Amino acid sequence: MKNNILLNLAYLSDKVTSKKDLNWEEVIKPFQYEFKLDPGKTFSFHDDVLTKYKNSLVKTTNAHFNAGEGFKTDGYLFGDGVCHLASLINWVAKDAGLEVEAPTSHDFANIPDVPREYGVSIYSNPYSAGSNTRQNLYITNNKGKSITFKFAYQNNKVKVSVVELN
């Protein structure tokens, strides 16, 4: 699960753009990454999005969480852990007062260290466009100024935060 979370963040930051770029030694090193979200713009966890977000979408994690992209399996499904990351982002975004839509909750299974109300179900099958829009996370900056999502990995912990810019 940890490796898939870190790989998902590597795709988000463009450190990895395809499986051929994947170097696990680099992926698991401590890092910091951030991206800016301007007012009225939307971040989506993956690129199969609801119609209402198509014009405001500016950022995704750039991944589909499958073996073809290097994601690992726990024996049941590939990409185990991406729901955990999405749920952390959901929690931080809601606490920051951002507009959040998570159409499918993850209440069918516990996500460690995440209160159940923040659980988000994520699924992306790139060969079935349109069918994954409800298993996604949408965050729109409804503030009057830009915000930055900050991600840090150090000492075996991922930290996610939102900062309003001046």
Residue 15 CB neighbours (<10 A): 18
Domain hosting residue 129, numbered range: 2-164
pTM of the model: 0.95
Mean pLDDT throughout 1-10?
Answer: 95
Distance CA 54, CA 50 (A): 7
- pLDDT at 75 > cutoff 90: no
**What letter does residue 88 receive in the DSSP assignment?**
H
Please tell me the total count of domains within the chain.
1
Distance CA 74, CA 101 (A): 28
Closest Cα to residue 102, out of 117, 81, 80, 113? 117
Tell me the per-residue pLDDT of 98-111, one tens digit each, with 9 for 90 and over: 999 999 889 888 88
